[in-house]
Amino acid sequence: FATKVSVELEQNVAKALEKVEYKPRKHPGVVKVKTIPMPEFLEETIPKVIGDYPLGAICRDAEALDRYLWSRHPPPTERHDANNKLYNKVQARLKKEVYAWKNMQYDTYTSLQYLLGRSPGEYAAMYRILTEIRDRDPSFTPRSYFDFGSGVGSALWATIGIWPKGGIFEYFMVDASAEMNDLAEQILRRGNHDKEPMIRNFFFRQFLPASTTNTYDLVVCAYTLFELPSKDARLKTIKTLWAKCENYLILVERGTRVGFHLITEARNFLLKIDPENCHVHSPCPHDATCPRLADPDKTPCNFEAKYENLQAFHKDRYKTETFSYVVLQKKPRDPCRTENSWPRIVRPVLVRSKHSICRMCTKEGRLQEIIFTAAKHGKQVYQCARKSNLGDRLPISIINPESEEVENDLSPHFEE
């Protein structure tokens, strides 16, 4: 049978397209950032902070570190009840012989490896995430910034790039490595400790303050959850960060299955403990359970940020960072803002002759595929779908028939 799934283009978008205020490729659901260049100051600063270290060796070791971090798993979760002694024995054996988790220790040399191997991709992911926050919430200008697991400062650089006018009056960075903190500050001073830093009122600490008296407009925890020793430690940290959050909390990890699992774990935890004051800003258009958790293939929900590499240090001019993330906002979801429930494209759009296939996550918490054609859905909707990409939102409402099974509902099985 053929199920009659219909779609309606957002009214104000339809009017804007009719008046040619913008073209379909620039509709308001598009994340308006394509290939992300690295900050200009970075190319000239890196040689200064590297100093006498051999550049070739650092570049090779940086690539090896990047591969290792991509393959990492979190520490195994222990079960404490008596019925799971066998499970814990198996986990202990696996830990010894297959995968032994250990906390990463960063000295001066490994911090430089991280700078060359990881900071460009992390910067690109954060820049894309922050761009969407700025574009969807133009009234939001953070006055304070808190970064747990700040590393060499890649999330900080992205924040400065998005809100450069000096509106942020306090930057608080936490990283367990003193060497990482020293390197991050040196970069802010453009490689010269005697030089004025790019920002004022910044603080580096090695430990997460337990006090929740001070709150921050923007709280970030990027590529850090893998470093925490247990699930209990992760959830305790997430709870503390949420208590410190005044507006937006951003969590980012590598776009692997385990990275996505850690993001989902944190998302579900916060929606459970504070349902009245917490909603998902992005990427999900809903606060329900992620439909990918019911997918037998367990494919992660991940997105991409294409960026220009550090050309003086890498042979590949362009690279792509694959990441999983969630942005949580500290207020209830506004049902009057229909743009908050636009479906998110969660797989690359398949552009074909006279039709385009979009696989989306909908406001009902469902994965759904729609084959868009001009004849069936109208020229405006068709062009918007055709010009969209992975990670964009479509400014449409999907109307599924209530009395029939929806043929192109792909939950729980959503194939590539």
* SS3 readout for 340-372: HHCCEECCCCEEECCEEEEEEECCCCCEEEEEE
> What are the angstrom distances between the C-alpha of 159 and each of 95, 171, 219, 283, 333?
38, 10, 11, 19, 24
| DSSP-derived pairing of the beta strands 367-372 and 355-361 | antiparallel
Environment class of residue 213 by beta-carbon count within 10 Å: exposed (0-12), middle (13-18) or buried (19+)? exposed
What's the fold here for domain 40-337? Rossmann fold (3.40.50)
Q: Is 85 exposed, middle or buried (0-12, 13-18, 19+ CB in 10 A)?
A: exposed
Please list, in sequence order, all residues whose beta carbon lies within 8 angstroms of the beta carbon of residue 94, skipping any fewer than 6 positions away: 76
The pLDDT of residue 402: 65
Measured distance CA(135)–CA(130) in Å, rounded? 9
The pTM of the full predicted model, rounded to 2 decimals, is 0.91
Strand partners, 320: 306
Residue-wise pLDDT tens digits, 174-197: 999 999 999 999 999 999 988 999
Q: For residues 414 and 173, give the distance between their C-alpha atoms in angstroms, rounded to a whole number.
A: 39
Q: Encoding tokens for residue 312?
A: 């003086």
Q: In this predicted structure, what is the pLDDT of residue 293? A: 87
Residue span(s) of the chain under CATH 3.40.50.150 come to 40-337
Question: How confident is the model at residue 76, as a pLDDT?
Answer: 82
Is the backbone peptide bond immediately before 39 cis, with ω within 30 degrees of 0?
Answer: no
> What is the CA 54 to chain-centroid distance, rounded?
33
d(CA 355, CA 357): 7
CB atoms within 10 A of CB 347: 19
Query: Rounded distance, CA 153 to CA 331, Å?
Result: 28
With a CB cutoff of 8 Å and minimum separation 6, the contacts of 38 are: 120, 123, 307, 308, 309, 310
Q: Which two tokens stand for residue 57?
A: 């060796």
Decide if 75 contacts 229 (C-beta within 8 A).
yes
For residue 404, what pLDDT is reported? 46
Q: Measured between alpha carbons, how far is residue 225 from residues 104, 234, 325 in Å? A: 12, 6, 12
pLDDT of residue 223: 98
Mean per-residue pLDDT pooled into runs of 10, the chain (416 residues):
75 96 96 92 93 93 95 78 63 58 90 96 98 96 98 98 90 98 97 92 95 95 96 97 98 97 98 97 97 85 95 84 98 90 97 95 95 95 97 95 54 47
Question: Rounded distance, CA 135 to CA 155, Å?
Answer: 18
What would the two tokens of residue 248 be? 């937006």
Adjacent-strand bridge partners of 357: 350, 371
